[in-house]
Amino acid sequence: MNQNPKWMSRLKVRHLEVFTALVETGSQSETAALLHVTQPALSKWLRELEQSVGCPLFERGRPLTLTIYGQVMLRYAQRVLGDGVRTANELEALRAGSSGRVRVGVLRTVAAVLLPRVIVNCRRNAPNVQVTVHEDSLDILLPRLERHELDCVVGRLQPNALNARVFSEVLYDEPVCAVVRTGHPLAGKKRITWRDAAAYPWIVPLPGTPLRERVDAEFAAAGLPTPSNPIESISLLTNETLMHESDMISMVSRQLARHYTGHRSLAILSLEMRHALGPVGLLWVDANPTAALARFMDSVRVEVRELLAAEASSPGKAFKVAGRARKRKA
């Protein structure tokens, strides 16, 4: 049976709090003021921590910088403190008469359609589960998941999300498509080329995001530059308003596009995308999820199945189910 290293039994949560505060400020004097302790007391805590782990954690200087050992220790401290906060939240939820809490990270396009259905389902079947939603891009959500600040993430399974520290499950494949206002000059045309679309102003995702890279690649494949001076925005409300009031074009998930067309607020263009962005799926880090998290993820699966069934019975399927797979930690 594996045993924890001896230094772990000597560590206190206070050691980790002091350590992460030092990383944040880069200064012993600022950290002492922040934690309301004297500098000698702070130095003692740091000395005890370094003696316990047997490695120097900081390069001494101004500001303090982490050694390679300190970088490893920081990841450990963030996980332990993140788990502590989650456990405290769960205990508080139980004391308040709730059966658990789930902190879910979600991409904006998923938040608009799938997530509200999931939350309603979860509340119907487990009314005492508290759900906290954090909406952002995957490059922000994934590190928070790895630090145990989030319990799960629902979004596209990009390659950078599939690593040994994260469990993943594919839910469905879903393309993206171009949308415009219903009275747009290109709306209703049966065949539209990227050259046709390049003649109009665009709203594009932020640089470095998977969808932005895909849009740039589609224009490049057509032998065209990305339209000049586009609006760079990931705000769904702002983008929808801009399209209503102009001839701007934007790319969204097919699920969200169908939501717009169902309310007759926007129209889908017949502009073909050559490559997919990757499936939508679940990401989580705990090998044994809490009961609340398990119920929430089951609600996600139920709503996906219902959306798939609804799309299968209607013309122009918005997305299709993908083979499920789980990636286990190494």
CATH T-level assignment (fold) for domain 6-80? Arc Repressor Mutant, subunit A (1.10.10)
pLDDT at 319: 45
For the chain, where do the domains classified as CATH 1.10.10.10 start and end? 6-80
pLDDT at 318: 45
Q: What is the pTM of this model?
A: 0.62
pLDDT at 245: 94
pLDDT at 197: 95
pLDDT at 136: 86
- CATH code at 176-268: 3.40.190.10
- One digit per residue, the tens of pLDDT, for the chain of length 330 reads 455 666 776 777 888 888 899 999 988 889 999 888 898 888 888 888 888 888 899 987 788 899 999 999 999 898 888 888 877 876 776 555 456 789 999 987 777 778 888 999 888 877 888 899 998 888 889 889 988 899 999 988 876 666 667 899 999 887 888 999 999 999 988 889 999 999 999 999 888 887 888 899 999 999 999 888 999 998 888 999 999 999 999 998 887 888 888 888 899 999 988 776 778 899 999 888 888 888 899 999 999 998 888 777 765 444 444 444 444 443
pLDDT at 196: 94
Q: How far apart are the first and last CA of the chain?
A: 18
For the chain, where do the domains classified as CATH 3.40.190.10 start and end? 98-174+279-321, 176-268
pLDDT at 95: 55
Long-range contacts of 228-232 (CB under 8 A, 24+ apart): 229/201, 230/201, 230/202, 230/203, 230/204, 231/201, 231/202, 231/203, 231/204, 232/203, 232/204, 232/205, 232/206, 232/207
**DSSP-derived 3-state class of residue 1:** coil
pLDDT at 1: 44
How far is the C-alpha of 186 from the C-alpha of 264, rounded, in Å?
16
- CATH code at 98-174+279-321: 3.40.190.10
User: Which residues fall within 8 angstroms of residue 297, CB to CB, at 6 or more apart?
Assistant: 152, 282, 284, 289
